[in-house]
Structure formats: structure tokens, C-alpha cells
Amino acid sequence: MSEHGRVAVLGAGIAGAAAARRLSEAGVRVRVFDKGRGVGGRMATRRVDDVQFDHGAQFMRAHGPAFAAELDRWAQRGIVAPWAGSDRYVGVPGMTEPVRGLLAGIPVSSVTTIVRLRRERARWHVEDASGTVHGPFDGVAITFPAPQVATLLEASGVALPGVGRAAYAPCWSLMVATDASPPDVLIEPRTDAIGLIAQDSSKPGRPAGRRLTVHATPEWSRRHLETPREAVVAELLGAAEDILGTGLRPSHAEAHRWRYAQVETALRKPCLYDPDLRLGAAGDWCLGARIEAAYDSGEALARGLLADLGRPA
């Protein structure tokens, strides 16, 4: 074992990135794995030709001192900025940017779905969907949404009691490039279908052109979980046009389904961690449905691992 140990961080959302950064700054050798093509998880920015959308999280706010200090640091570096002069901060040029900033210099294996953990002689190996085995690692931090953590633990024959208590609502997200403009940068009509309409193009540092992101309500998203994408686009466009009182005539429209979007039942603990196994799990499902909660959870898990990495397994 190297002096400070090696840790696998599974998931490159804000929880995984916060954990990876904290571990790496303490001298631990970290490798991050994510099944996606890029990093950010639900802090997502999609670019298609010359249009771009934040189709996951829209903005972040700080409630506690740790995340407030981090937001200040990011603002000084120009990777976040206030949105429309409010206390809502957005990533610049997209919501993914703060996660990229946290992971700068840390090795990330993208397009790598982790399907199993194996423990041999008190150290961990992680196996991806292609059968490749990575490791050994002295500790593992899993930062997926809770149902995906539960699937991995079950496939690996290990348990972190409490994971099964967290629950999520889904969200269909519609991205529209249009000439029409809503009355405000952010409206939350909370009709049956529509929870939020954000004027994506009003965020700082975005490319030219008008773009809206429309999020369906949890109830509507649940009812339409298996509805084909094209039908979701048509229905949400119609519902948004009714609210805005104008035709949207989109030059681009697509929908993305987030199966695990918003935490409905949180664990009410900063993270789950087993010091004997040096195995833990973190994410928004621990503390609540917000970016800050996921960040705080990732930090808490890193602190748990750091307290143990110095002692023999």
C-alpha cells in the first residue's frame, strides 16, 4: 500500500467529485469511474451543434458555510456566476463546469459502468461491464443514486444498511431552441405537467440564441416514464405553449428522461460508511434533493475514508 492509499471513487457527479478532490488533496491516489461520456452526472450540459442546454440541475444555492465558501472560490475562478442577479448560481459556461473544476488533474475513466466489487486480502477490485477488473484499492466510495448503489452492493454480496430507504422521483426534461421568450428567466407554474420553465439562454456565459428548458412534474414524469420520447416532446411542448400563451415553433426540441431525478425520501445522514471494509456511499439521497447536499455528502465520505486510511486494514 502506498503511503496514503488508493481509493476508487465510483460516480463523477458532484458527490463523487467532492470526495475525489478532498481525498486527492490529502495525498490519496484516486481514480474516478463513471458510466457517462463526461463528468457532472445530473449537473448536466448537453451541446448539439451550436445549441446548449442545462437539462438536469438548473442552479445551486448555498445554505451552509462549506458550500458557500466553495461557491465563492468557483466564482473567483469564473466557473460559476449568479443568474440574473439573484442568489442562484449557475456553472459557466454550463452546469457541468464546477464538477470539471473539482476533478481537474484527477484520473477519470469515463464510459465505464461498474458492475461488481470484489474484496481480496482486505483490498478492493472493481469490475466494469466489459469484464475488466481495476485495482487494487484500499477503499471505495460509491456515489451513484441510491437504487444504483443497492444494485451494485447486491451484485457484490456486500451490504451498507440504510441504502434501501432513500427514494427518488423521475423527471422528463424538454430542451427547446425557440424565438419565443417567457416573461421571466424562471417560472414554476406547477400545473399537472409542468414544474419549471427556465430561460436557459439567460444564464451567464451562454452561446447566442434563445433556448428554454422545461421540466415535467414528478407526477407527470412518473405516469409517462415509458412513453416514447417523441410523444413526450409533443405533449410537453403543448403544455408549455399553453402556459406561455404562445407557439414555440422550435428549431430544435428533444427530451431526456432522468429516472432518478429528485430525492423524495432522504436518509438524513451525511453518508454511509463501514470503517472495517473501508467502503462507503454518498450522494444527494443522504441529505436531500440539492447539489449542496450531494457535495456535503461526498465531503463527509472522504473524511470517513481519510480517518481510516492511515491505520492497518
Ligand X SMILES: Cc1cc2nc3c(=O)[nH]c(=O)nc-3n(C[C@H](O)[C@H](O)[C@H](O)COP(=O)(O)OP(=O)(O)OC[C@H]3O[C@@H](n4cnc5c(N)ncnc54)[C@H](O)[C@@H]3O)c2cc1C
Residues lying near ligand X in the complex (CB under 6 A) are found at 10-16, 33-36, 41-43, 56-60, 113-114, 143-145, 148, 152, 171, 173, 215, 258, 261-262, 283-284, 289-291, 294
Residue with cell 424562471: 186
Closest CA to 141 of 273, 29, 35: 273
Nearer CB in complex with ligand X: 204/246: 204
β-bridge mates for residue 272, sequence order: 281
The three grid cell numbers given for residue 122, joined into one nine-digit string: 482486505
**Phi-psi category of residue 111: left, alpha or beta, with phi > 0 → left and psi -120 to 50 → alpha:** left
Cβ atoms 234, 248 nearer than 8 A: no
Nearer CB in complex with ligand X: 117/237: 117
d(CA 248, CA 163): 42
CA dihedral 7, 12, 16, 22 (to 10 degrees): 70
d(CA 123, CA 140): 9
Nearest-approach distance from CB 3 to ligand X, in angstroms: 28
Nearest-approach distance from CB 311 to ligand X, in angstroms: 28
Nearest-approach distance from CB 40 to ligand X, in angstroms: 7
Nearest-approach distance from CB 169 to ligand X, in angstroms: 9
Nearer CB in complex with ligand X: 248/293: 293
Residue with cell 468557483: 74
Nearest-approach distance from CB 8 to ligand X, in angstroms: 11
Q: What crossing angle do the helices spanning 65-77 and 291-309 adopt, rounded to 10°? A: 100
Nearest-approach distance from CB 123 to ligand X, in angstroms: 20
∠29-19-103 over CA atoms, to 5°?
A: 70
Nearer CB in complex with ligand X: 250/285: 285
d(CA 246, CA 83): 25
The three grid cell numbers given for residue 134, joined into one nine-digit string: 481495476
Nearer CB in complex with ligand X: 14/51: 14
Nearer CB in complex with ligand X: 73/249: 73
Nearest-approach distance from CB 257 to ligand X, in angstroms: 10
Nearer CB in complex with ligand X: 271/309: 271
Closest CA to 280 of 257, 309, 259: 309
